Amino acid sequence: MSTAAATQAVIDLRSDTVTRPTPAMRRAMAEAEVGDDVYAEDPTVNRLQARAAEIFGREASLYFPSGSMANLTAIKTWTRPGMEVICEAQAHIYLYEMAGVAAIAGCMPNTVPAPSGTLTWDLIEPLIRPHIYYRSQTALIELENTHNMHGGTVYPPAISDDICERAHAAGLPVHLDGARIFNASVALGRSVADITRKFDSVMFCLSKGLGAPVGSMLVGSRDFIDKARVTRKLLGGGMRQAGVLAAAGLIALEETPKILHRDHENARHLAEGLSKIPGVSIDPKRVVTNILIFDVASSGRTAADVCAALAKHGVLGGATGKSTIRMVTHYDVNRAAIDRALAAIATVLGASS
């Protein structure tokens, strides 16, 4: 015996990391040519790295098991223990990477809150330490695009270009946490190469909206990537026949950017629906990529309580604060699923729908 509700799949909006590999990815994984990547002899990993470098217009790239390891590798490669890394106060490297900046790179994060998560040189410049021997020194500036905890916001390229130029003039490298840089590229209608060209290193995830089961890339100069390969090995990130994973990554990289606009349209549709539900506050105009964060304070309920009730209706979101909920669209949720999620949210918050 099964009811319609019981047979309906769970609508998982907790993150775009929950995407499953497509049938094409599964086939490519099964057929992947492999070798030992610690010897740099895995042809599929080498193809993925060459292709990522080409797409970003850079000399080289390196495949990683996770975005956190790729960010940490970049940070460790650009810094020495006892130095400082400037980042936004809600940066992923600061909040969600196990304090690796401090614990492993031996650096101190120096943070500042920025409206929409978009740093500007005016916010960064006062954090740069003077060159005095008894002061810790600034080693690196880190930006995040799209900004996860600010709801998938996108850096205007003029602002990130300006930060890079001024940082370089001050002798500082800039690393981009571009976990979702393809979402930013689609939202701006500009290539990833174009919007990241001034950064010294770029990390992006294959395993988020692009849909690969595992993996992230670090992109930069040949010299930087050669050093990063050493740091990756130190962190335990040297993989062997990783081509079975890279094969899915190649498909994610080539095919998924073409359809990411659908996720953005679905996120905007979800935001517009949410804005009409009593007890929810969200400005749909601020939803420009695939992440939305809405507030349920005026419903008198906590975010945790609303998420628990939604889960009983087969809709998953994540509480990011006492009254804020994050939802992320991706290729495993279509427009019909978004409409079902909206109906469930309206029911849970006691509105008639």
Ligand X SMILES: *Cc1c(COP(=O)(O)O)cnc(C)c1O
Interface contacts to ligand X, rule CB under 6 A: 66-68, 71, 92, 144, 148, 177, 179, 205, 207-208, 216
| Residue closer to ligand X, measured from CB, 192 or 346 | 192
Query: Which residue has the closest beta carbon to ligand X?
Result: 67
The Cα 142–Cα 202 span in angstroms is 10
Q: Which residue's CB is nearer to ligand X, number 208 or number 330? A: 208
Return the number of the residue (205 or 218) whose C-beta is nearest ligand X.
205
| Nearest distance in Å: CB 86, ligand X | 16
Closest separation between CB of residue 253 and ligand X, Å?
15
Residue type (1 letter), 152: G
Pairing of strands 201-205, 216-220: antiparallel
Q: H-type helices in the chain, by residue range?
A: 4-7, 23-31, 43-55, 67-78, 92-95, 100-103, 121-124, 157-169, 181-188, 192-196, 222-234, 243-255, 260-275, 303-312, 335-348
CA–CA dist 57, 91 (Å, integer)? 26
> Please, what is the Cα angle at 288 between 300 and 15, to 5 degrees?
65
Sorted by sequence, the CB contacts under 8 Å of residue 148 that are 6+ apart come out as 92, 179, 180, 291
Neighbours of 236 (CB within 10 A): 9
179 or 348: whose CB is closer to ligand X?
A: 179
How near is the Cβ of 1 to ligand X at its closest, in Å?
A: 39
| Residue number with CB closer to ligand X (79 or 299) | 79
Quick one: 144 or 200, whose CB is closer to ligand X? 144
**Shortest Cβ 34–ligand X spacing (Å):** 22
CB of 3 to ligand X, least distance (A): 35
CB of 49 to ligand X, least distance (A): 17
d(CA 210, CA 16): 8
Q: Which is nearer to ligand X, 68 or 266 (CB)?
A: 68
- Please give the helix or strand (H or E) that residue 318 lies within, else none: strand 318-319
110: its two tokens: 């120096």
Cα–Cα distance between 314 and 142 in angstroms, integer? Answer: 37
Q: How far is the CB of 221 from ligand X (least distance, A)?
A: 21
